[in-house]
């Protein structure tokens, strides 16, 4: 069954971009509740400072997870380790090593910055033993890097999860469904033990929902929300994240 995850804020969008971007923890919990009612089964969470700046903080994340679990016990919660141009990989590794979280996302190109891959084997082993890990891939080169780490047993897992990102580095951050093809072509070439057991997609810009519909036809999980785009399929701006989730749900096959 296709999972729908909502990514309601991201690291960069603020209430100046859209008034319904959740920037406090209480905003995020309320948004999660609305999106759960609209059909989302999971949340990709970013936290902010009082100035709406992206933050990595163990205690704040754990408090948010606790609040979400109490309010929405059936919602799966994933927290980000994104650098967002603010944090170095050492800070990301420290966060992930100390934080108690059921599910985390890790951008493979970020976590390797200024790191010797072989030295990260204990870190990845500990992380994969305590959390689900979704590896974020921005292009097929990232996928190749991840596959190499698995082949070298620096990353040891039989349940590889990935997120393919479309449009992040394209002109004007706009995505098109064919941007999924390089990921699929590489996936189909790798040995069976390197193939992901779960694949998810997110897509930037006005093409967000068309790209997600293409991915749904490939049996992938879908991530939708204001982090990646605020536009409905007809080009109108959604009033909130729940509206975007509902628009996607309505377009998926029953």
pLDDT tens digits, 191-207: 999 999 999 999 999 99
The answer to whether residues 11 and 82 touch, using CB atoms and an 8 Å cutoff, is yes
The answer to whether residues 83 and 110 touch, using CB atoms and an 8 Å cutoff, is yes
Fold of the CATH domain 4-251 = TIM Barrel (3.20.20)
What number of other Cβ atoms are within 10 A of residue 32's Cβ?
26
Phi-psi region of 167 (alpha: psi -120 to 50; beta: other; left: phi over 0): left
The answer to whether residues 62 and 47 touch, using CB atoms and an 8 Å cutoff, is no
Q: Which residues contact 219 (CB under 8 A, 6 or more apart)?
A: 2, 199
Q: What is the pLDDT of residue 254?
A: 78
Could you tell me the pTM of the whole model?
0.97
The b-or-e profile of 102-115 (16+ CB within 10 A means b, else e) is: ebbbbbbbbbbeeb
Q: What is the pLDDT of residue 1?
A: 78
Q: What is the pLDDT of residue 224?
A: 98
Q: Which of 197, 188, 247 shows the shortest CA–CA distance to 221?
A: 197
Domain ranges (residues) in the chain = 4-251
Task: Give the 3-state secondary structure of residue 203.
Answer: strand
pLDDT tens for the chain, 254 residues long, are 799 999 999 999 999 999 999 999 999 999 999 999 999 999 999 999 999 999 999 999 999 999 999 999 999 999 999 999 999 999 999 999 999 999 999 999 999 998 999 999 999 999 999 999 999 999 999 999 999 999 999 999 999 999 999 998 777 889 999 999 999 999 999 999 999 999 999 999 999 999 999 999 999 999 999 999 999 999 999 999 999 999 999 999 87
Three-class SS of 68-111: HHHHCCCCEEEEECCCCCCCCHHHHHHHHHHCCCCEEEEEHHHH
Tokens (6 digits) for 209: 């929902």
Question: φ and ψ at 2, to 5 degrees?
Answer: -65, 130
Q: What average pLDDT does the chain have?
A: 97
């Amino acid at each position: 069954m296709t999972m729908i995850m909502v990514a309601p804020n991201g690291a960069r969008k603020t209430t100046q971009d859209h008034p319904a971007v959740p920037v406090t923890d209480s905003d995020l919990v309320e948004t999660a509740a609305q999106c759960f009612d609209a059909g989302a089964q999971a949340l990709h969470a970013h936290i902010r400072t009082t100035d709406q700046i992206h933050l990595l903080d163990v205690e704040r994340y754990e408090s948010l997870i606790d609040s979400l679990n109490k309010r929405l016990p059936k919602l799966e919660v994933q927290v980000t380790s994104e650098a967002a141009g603010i944090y170095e990989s050492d800070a990301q590794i420290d966060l992930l090593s100390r934080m108690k979280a059921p599910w985390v996302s890790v951008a493979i190109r970020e976590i390797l910055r200024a790191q010797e891959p072989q030295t990260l084997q204990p870190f990845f082993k500990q992380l994969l033993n305590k959390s689900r890990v979704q590896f974020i891939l921005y292009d097929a080169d990232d996928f190749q890097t991840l596959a190499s780490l698995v082949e070298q047993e620096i990353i040891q897992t039989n349940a590889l999860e990935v997120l393919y990102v479309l449009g992040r580095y394209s002109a004007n951050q706009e995505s098109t469904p064919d941007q999924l093809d390089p990921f699929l072509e590489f996936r189909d070439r790798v040995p069976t033990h390197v193939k992901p057991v779960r694949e998810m997609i997110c897509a930037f810009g006005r093409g967000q929902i068309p790209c997600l519909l293409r991915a749904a036809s490939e049996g992938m999980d879908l991530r939708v929300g204001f982090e990646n785009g605020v536009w409905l399929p007809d080009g109108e701006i959604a009033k909130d994240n729940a509206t975007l989730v509902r628009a996607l749900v309505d377009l998926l096959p029953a």
